[in-house]
Amino acid sequence: MTMFVQELLLLCHGDTKADKDAGDLERGLKSRSKRQAQKLGSWLQVNGLEPDITLASPADCARVSAEKALKAGGGTARDIVTDARLHRAPVVDHISALSERAGPRVLCSGHTDTLTDLLRHFAPDAPPLRPGMLAQLRLREGALQAGTGRLQRMVAADDLPDGFPYPGPGGSERRPRPAYYYTQSAALPYRHHKGAVEVLMVTSSSGRTWGIPKGICEPGLTPQESAAKEALEEAGVIGRIREACIGRYDHAKWGATCAVTVYPMSVTKILSGKEWDESHRKRKWVSSKEASARVAHPDLARIIAAFTGR
């Protein structure tokens, strides 16, 4: 059965960083622009407009905008399709990309000028798009020809309320970050050395404190997979993550409380500095007693002591 585009969502990335050494494809988003994409993604979820298919320009700014919007809207970034025809290309190339991956509701994440051209292809009287804006179009079923769309609305991220509903759409509380930020997992990397258990500790990104790898539970990944991902990125280690957690603790961040679940990881490989993404951090094998003493959170210290004591 052939599937036609019935609804088209056009997501314009926000302002990019002023990086003279980066090409158009590599230039990243400003932090404010990432928040704009998240606000638009949350707005889509609240209004029941989650996309069935997401296409993105291969430019980092467009792809990351799509990722931020989808995850803030309760989805995952796994199914984003990057298509070179969405990178500052003529309308005919955008139409070609849409026709190959049609679905009831399609989101295109790209650049203001080319998405404005695409918008006006379907709705000639539509006003121009701006950075950090989203347009919603209804299309006559099966038609991608000129003039076959009706502009439903245009939404600017800066016009939306600050904060995100928690714990989800309709939640009475609003938090500074999307709801999924507040569910985190941590890896406790360990090894057996000279008859004792040692723990691998890493410094924070600022280098001021010591801890274990932890981070947001990535939408689309299990808590265990997220913990392993954090261990790879923050500590540069690979290992076997246990299925069962060994404890939970609360961590104050982003104006609220994050719930952190801890999973032990038996380290099987340590990456070199060149292979390690966050090699600006320091890492150090320490005794279980020293690990418990170094971490700032008392509940995490007790979790480490209880596990290594076993």
What is the radius of gyration, based on Cα positions, of the chain?
23
pLDDT tens-digit series, residues 227-265: 999 999 999 999 999 999 999 999 999 999 999 999 999
Residues 198 and 104 in one domain: no
In a domain, 131, yes or no: yes
Q: Are the beta carbons of 241 and 265 closer than 8 angstroms?
A: yes
Residues 133 and 253 in one domain: no
**pLDDT for the residue numbered 4:** 65
Please give the model's pTM, rounded to 2 decimal places.
Answer: 0.89
In a domain, 230, yes or no: yes
Residues 303 and 203 in one domain: yes
**pLDDT for the residue numbered 142:** 67
Query: Which tokens is 77 given?
Result: 């970034």
Number of compact structural domains in the chain: 2
The CATH number given to whatever domain includes residue 133 is 3.40.50.1240
CA distance 247 to 295: 15
Residues 226 and 266 in one domain: yes
In a domain, 68, yes or no: yes
In a domain, 258, yes or no: yes
Residues 11 and 101 in one domain: yes
Residues 256 and 226 in one domain: yes
pLDDT tens-digit series, residues 225-235: 999 999 999 99
In a domain, 173, yes or no: no
**pLDDT for the residue numbered 279:** 87
In a domain, 174, yes or no: no
Looking at this protein, which amino acid is placed at residue 66? A
pLDDT confidence tier of residue 143, bands split at 50, 70 and 90: confident
CA distance 225 to 215: 11
- Please determine, for residue 310, whether its predicted confidence score (pLDDT) is greater than 80: no
pLDDT tens-digit series, residues 54-73: 999 999 999 999 999 999 99
**pLDDT for the residue numbered 2:** 46
Cβ atoms within 10 Å, residue 158: 15
In a domain, 170, yes or no: no
Residues 20 and 54 in one domain: yes
pLDDT confidence tier of residue 79, bands split at 50, 70 and 90: confident
The CATH number given to whatever domain includes residue 292 is 3.90.79.10
- Find the domain containing 304 and state its range: 179-309
Residues 34 and 107 in one domain: yes
pLDDT tens-digit series, residues 162-206: 999 999 888 889 999 999 999 999 999 999 988 889 999 999 888
- Please determine, for residue 207, whether its predicted confidence score (pLDDT) is greater than 60: yes
